[in-house]
Amino acid sequence: MPGRRGSPPYSGHHRGCVPSAPACRVWDPQSRPDQEPPRPSPLLCRDMALQNALYTGDLARLLELFPPHSTADLLLESRAAEPRWSSHQRGLWSLTYEEELTTPLHVAASRGHADVVQLLLRRRAKPDSAPGGRTALHEACAAGHTACVHALLVAGADPDIPDQDGKHPLHLCQGVGTLECAELLLRFGAKVDGRSEEEEETPLHVAARLGHVELADLLLRRGADPDARDAEGWTPLLAACDTRCTPATDPEATAARCLQLCRLLLSAGADPDAADQDRRRPLHLACLRGYGAIVELLLSCGVSVNAMDYGGHTALHCALQGPPLALAQSPEHAVRALLNHGAVRIWPGALPKVLERWCTSPRTIEVLMNTYSVMKLPEEAAGLVPPEILQKHHRFYSSLFALVRQPRSLQHLSRCVLRAHLEACLPHALPRLPLPPRLLRYLQLDFEDVLY
């Protein structure tokens, strides 16, 4: 990654390169015979032919520009990707492209030109040079260029050196070659639980947050701690449960990766009920994201279904406060799982707010209403649902509003009584009852898309 200008340009001789002032000291082998000659400082190079050859990976041209006994220990000027506000005079600010410094080795490594990387290393490029805070190894790992990573490590690059943000190369592994890059770093001595300086994240935290199942599996097999905590008390399992869907991602694929990660971490011994500094647990986060399958997985591990975070929210509250994107995850499954594991029902006075927020998910409304013996909605509740939603789910909402302040069916009342009787052991007792499958599903709040 290029860095700000600040490192001094260096003296020497190369086509298109500018020596610094004052000039470097000249080493006199007679004056200090017991010491190594001082290493010449890198040159600030503005040769556009050289830069074009680096960016395009033109090895033939670079062999001409870097003949034997020349040096590739150079600095290149580049511009920041985006303009930044800067002040050249007091009170006068302007948007300018800030000049930055990088090296030929950084350019080649970030673009995957492995043969160029090897040439530059042979021409005395420093593998751990970091004029902008990142080394060429950081750049190669961030782009997933395995061959470049291997060449740099063989040349002596430090596999655990932090960048300007305190992240190690293992934190940055991305792209097609993620696994291969991580395996190389570990083989050359990178710490599997090395922490970033500010966030105190381990590489396993990063893999879990990004939904990278294969990388997490590799790190766990190499001894990564599944319960390591970062600066905010998050474990990798918390990070996995908080993976967000975006409009640009496939919600089903994201949910499937998160489920795989959670299973992997739990099988490695991760605490399913570990809370962060705000007392949020994996169950809270999975509910907030609407990941019903993960909710069921965590509940099967015996987590505390009614535990509260510092804000006083239970997992059920989180499930009903999720973002609109959680609708793609069918939140009704998470809500039903919580209620079947003894979650305390929400205050009836909050039901109109839930109806207004989740009216496009009638099954979420259904499963909530089927835990009450009386439909506790105001008569004007029908006005909370937009007309187009009423029309789309006409059968369900007709049955819902017909029951406002009306008695429920005897069958439903019997269900409520039996569930209340088994409340303390509901998730374990219901499956053991000698009941027909259809009746058992009814007691477990199976969806019917209508209310009685």
Q: How many residues does the chain have?
A: 452
For the chain, domains (ranges, CATH) are 1-165 (1.25.40.20), 192-317 (1.25.40.20), 345-452 (no CATH)
Beta bridge partners of 45: 17, 76
d(CA 31, CA 38): 13
Mean pLDDT value of segment 202-208:
97
Per-residue confidence band for 323, with pLDDT thresholds at 50, 70 and 90: confident
- Residues 446, 448, 452, CA angle at the centre, nearest 5°? 105
Least confident of 81-90, 184-193, 343-352, 439-448: 81-90
Is the pLDDT confidence value at 266 over 80? yes
Percent of the chain residues topping a pLDDT of 90: 69
85, two tokens: 């506000």
Question: Under 8 Å CB-to-CB from 255, ≥6 apart: which residues?
Answer: 245, 291, 293, 294, 329
Read off the pTM: 0.83
Question: Under 8 Å CB-to-CB from 199, ≥6 apart: which residues?
Answer: 166, 205, 230, 231, 232
Mean pLDDT value of segment 320-327:
76
Query: So what's the pLDDT on residue 100?
Result: 75
Place of tokens 């030929």: 104
For 267-307, write each residue's pLDDT tens digit.
Answer: 999 999 999 999 999 999 999 988 999 999 999 999 999 99
Asked whether the bond before 22 is cis by omega within 30 degrees of 0, the reply is yes
Per-residue confidence band for 15, with pLDDT thresholds at 50, 70 and 90: very low
Q: For 205-219, give one letter per residue: b (16+ CB within 10 A) or e.
A: bbbbbbbbbebbbbb
For 17-61, write each residue's pLDDT tens digit.
Answer: 543 333 332 323 333 334 444 555 677 888 889 999 999 999 999
For 370-409, write each residue's pLDDT tens digit.
Answer: 999 988 888 888 899 999 999 999 999 999 999 988 889 9
